[in-house]
Amino acid sequence: MLLPFMPFNRGEKNKMTVENRTAPQGSEHSETVWVYLFKELDRVYEIAKPADWEDVQSLLGGKGANLARMTSLDVPVPAGFTVTTEACNAYMDYDRNFPPNMWQQEVEAMGALEGITGKKFGDSTKPLLVSCRSGGKFSMPGMMDTVLNIGLNDDTARGMVEITGDARFVYDSYRRLVQMFASVVLGVPDEPFEEAIEQAKSVRGVHDDTELTAAEWKELTERFKGLIRSFTDSEFPQDPYKQLELATRAVFNSWFGKRAVDYRNATNISHDLGTAVNIQTVVFGNMGDASGTGVAFTRNPVDGTREIYGDYLLNAQGEDVVAGIRNTRPIAQLKAEMPGVFGEFVEICGKLESFYKDMQDVEFTIERGKLWMLQTRNGKRTARAAIKIAVDLADEKMITRDEAIMRVTPEQVDMLLHPQFGGDTKAEATQAGRRLVEKAVNASPGAAVGVAAFDADTAERWGNEGKDVIMVRPETRPDDVHGMIAAKGILTSKGGATSHAAVVARQFGTPAVCGAENLIIEVGHRLFIAAVAGNTVEVREGEWLSIDGGSGEVFRGQLETRDPDFEHEAELITLLAWADEIRRLGVRTNADYPADAERARRYGAEGIGLCRTEHMFFQEERLPIMQQMITAETGAHRKAALDQLLPMQRGDFEGLFRAMDGCPVIIRLLDPPLHEFLPSQHALVQELADLKVQLQHFRSMSEIDNALAQVREKEDILERVESLAESNPMLGLRGDRLGIMMPEITEMQARAILEAAVAVSKEGLDVKPEIMIPLSSHVNELTVLKKVVDEVARKVFSETGTTVKFLYGTMIELPRAALTADEMAREAEFFSFGTNDLTQTTFGMSRDDAEAKFLIDYVKTGVLPTNPFQELDRGGVGKLVEMAVRLGRSTRPGMSCGICGEHGGEPNSIEFCHLVGLDYVSCSPFRVPVARLAAAQAVLNHR
């Protein structure tokens, strides 16, 4: 059967661009409803007929849908309306023109807002002001555009001064509109505006924006208009409806802005969903100390603790909090400053969390003591928080255990198991005076080590070059997202736990330290200065930094990291235990050494799916013996070298069998070409040339004799290397072919495995060895080598007086093996799919060469949907796997089949393995928890 491609993410990446969309013909959209008021959720169901809540989010965007839902729940939400995502897509279809009747519907909705609020848009006596915000189906924090205070102009500003008696508030609001309009709508750089504000504060000798006077804000507003004239040769529009029209266009256009596209590519969000536009009555948090604004989470998004977590500012508007331009106050302080408001806020948070059954990220504004909720959405969270919240919600009976399993992504489990700094390491660095920041905002946990980069473009460029980067900024902006994605860590001197840097870092699992106020970051000079114990330390771009996003510490230089302590991750252990009850697939590990096997067993591995014996031969004390075996001129010399390797191999296998007591251990016989164990031909030629030059300078016979002996030895090795040279060694004398041509290698390895199994079984342990033949392409190869293995087994069991049951199987890593799997199964008792080589031989490409030359571009340009070496190619390689399983079991019913390539730890590939009926996946020890969760999710996705 042909299995469908079923992506694990939120939709295949769609590489569509605006330029290749085709405008529709005729007036098919003339009767479409493009606009819905927040209070018209029932009308959405009546007209659009969504099948479920996800369809509502697809139409109204996540933000618009939740504003409508909050309104229906009687949560205090400022009135507004949503222009649908369909309108955005139609706008693109019509070559960035509004579709028929959309603008008329938006104007009519403004009239409805006037009726609800008792205010009038553009009126100087009772002015209605609105915000214009984006809102896609999936949360994309800060990636698209927002314009606040639309409707302000010279007339309405004067009128508002008369109404409120607060000129400072009015002109602070007006300058915000002009500044945002210039940046978002007209594309004017933001820096000249910020420089003007900083200059005004410097002249006054003040530190905070809130200390500027009404006259100064009024003057700055005029300066901002002048900046617009200078950059655009046009005036700031005084017509409120022109402001609204251009702002709506800007939000639509921002769907295909660079930062939005980069973000969607990084998070696998489809490019054809479009964004909604939310027009909402403005409530003001900048009307004095009885007003304020903030962002909060109903649970701690860093560690998952059940507490209100967030930041707020008095006398400010929302962008001040999320932009990180002012250092905020923790939400707990609001209880002391406004106890009534805080109590109402906590009650609403509880109501929203109970309704949505998930941790919520909310935005709020307090206008002269009145609380307004501006947004709710499922909050971004760290991996640790995601796991704890899911388990806690299940324990609180708010969701089921199955739902808890689906709430956590395999990527989050992987993030939680990233390396950390050890306490001793940080203590030593502190004593050495290398700690630059003692306690800033621990915005996103984890350890990160990298070189400092002071802008997003540099961070991205260095990241693409393979460098580990810490991106250092005073604060991050949405335009920085491409650098944030490339960076290993993020450090800012401004902003709090809900700033843009913090939210995006948590989204991507990137360690981040924010609000490090003792740092003076001079981006223009590519350095920062840290005040440490009365001294100043200068760190320049390119120097190494280590940041701890869990503690909020920053260190100069490179700190060593340690593996995470899995045994103390109580919630993760609980979640994975629930997953184990559901999954059908077994999870084994790829392990070559006992330490790896023991770690994997602690992580929940149920056996070893691949032990690569060649890795053991590369150890320092073994490599010379291996080279003696390869360069041996006679069979006797080769056997003598193998006799030295035998006890070493036997000891390796004993350690693995002990670590995996009671679990199967698949040991692959020697696979790579022999030349890999020898020096390269180029290196040998160079060494010989150097030795011959040195010979000319020796005077004593002993020096000459010694040098000549080295020359003869090198010449012998070079001769053997040249004799082993192949045009295409990966398809040459390796794997089972090597075992057939040099059966003494197979004999030694089989004896080491079986002697180790006998020895460990005599210790009272349950040993389950499985011997795997690599690179087989014809059943006759398996027949030949099975005779060798069976004869060794007969001898070992006779010599020891003990018999151990073992299985004999093969790796399926060549297309012919898959196509003739029914024949292979006559000899093989199990199949293990080596999907790395199977992918190479199916596509006819070398992984290293392909990734270096063209494969990455193939994925970027859509020639291939994904990198087939990272995510299993279901349409080609997957067909071979499914066919081989079916054919093999037709000959040997119930035969064990698994996968042991890198795909064994990749969630989409694990889902495929579940669908085709494999028995297990095998992956690296650190991916075992990931595979356990992904295997359970595959079951739940296909129930």
- Give the angle 356-360-363 at the CA atoms, nearest 5°: 125
Query: What is the Cα–Cα distance from 432 to 189, expressed in whole angstroms?
Result: 42
Do the bridges between strand 447-453 and strand 469-473 make them parallel or antiparallel, or are there none, so unpaired? parallel
Which residues make Cβ contacts (< 8 Å) with residue 455, sequence separation at least 6? 473, 480, 483, 523
Q: How many CA atoms lie within 13 A of 864 on its CB side?
A: 20
3-state per-residue secondary structure call for 349-399: HHHHHHHHCCCEEEEEEEECCEEEEEEEEECCCCHHHHHHHHHHHHHCCCC
Strand arrangement of the beta sheet that strand 130-136 belongs to: 35-37, 80-83, 275-281, 130-136, 146-150
User: Rounded distance, CA 126 to CA 931, Å?
Assistant: 60
Phi-psi sector, 522: left (phi>0), alpha (psi -120 to 50), beta: beta
Phi-psi domain of 324 (left: phi exceeds 0; alpha: psi -120 through 50; beta: other): left
Tell me the three state secondary structure of residue 769. Answer: strand
| Maximal C-alpha separation, the chain | 109
Active site residue 132: no
Pairing of strands 586-590, 608-612: parallel
Which residue among the candidates 500, 675, 903, 914 is catalytic per the annotation? 500
State the burial class of residue 459 (Cβ atoms within 10 Å of its Cβ: 0-12, 13-18, 19+).
buried
* Residue 689 exposed, middle or buried by CB count within 10 Å (0-12, 13-18, 19+): exposed
Question: Please, how many CA atoms are within 13 Å of residue 11, restricted to the half-sphere of its CB?
Answer: 13
Closest among 138, 37, 128, 139 to 84, alpha carbons compared: 37
Would you put residue 525 in left (φ > 0), alpha (ψ -120 to 50) or beta?
Answer: alpha
CA separation for the pair 799, 108 (Å, rounded): 94
- Catalytic residue flag (residue 900): yes
In whole angstroms, give the CA distance from residue 28 to residue 89.
Answer: 14
Distances (CA, A) of 607 to 104, 610, 655, 918: 66, 9, 13, 15
Q: Which of 500, 297, 495, 295 is nearest to 379 (CA)?
A: 297
Q: Which of 349, 611, 663, 900 is catalytic?
A: 900
Nearest residue to 76 (alpha-carbon basis) of 271, 281, 380: 281
Cα distance between residue 548 and residue 511, in whole Å: 7
Strand order in 519-522's β-sheet? 519-522, 527-532, 535-540
Angle (CA) 609-610-613 rounded to 5° is 155
| Beta bridge partner(s), residue 276 | 135
Helices (H), 660-729: 681-695, 701-724
User: What is the C-alpha separation between 393 and 381, in angstroms, rounded?
Assistant: 15
| C-alpha count within 13 angstroms, C-beta hemisphere, residue 493 | 17
CA distance 403 to 405: 5
**Measured distance CA(910)–CA(627) in Å, rounded:** 39
Residue 801 CA: distances (Å) to CA of 503, 758, 765, 819 = 65, 9, 17, 41
Cβ-Cβ contacts under 8 Å for 81 (sequence gap 6 or more): 35, 36, 37, 38, 106, 109, 112, 113, 278, 279
Q: Which amino acid is at 447?
A: A
Q: What gap in Å lies between CA 182 and CA 614, rounded to an integer?
A: 63
291, 364 in Cβ contact below 8 A? Answer: no
Q: Catalytic residue positions?
A: 500, 900
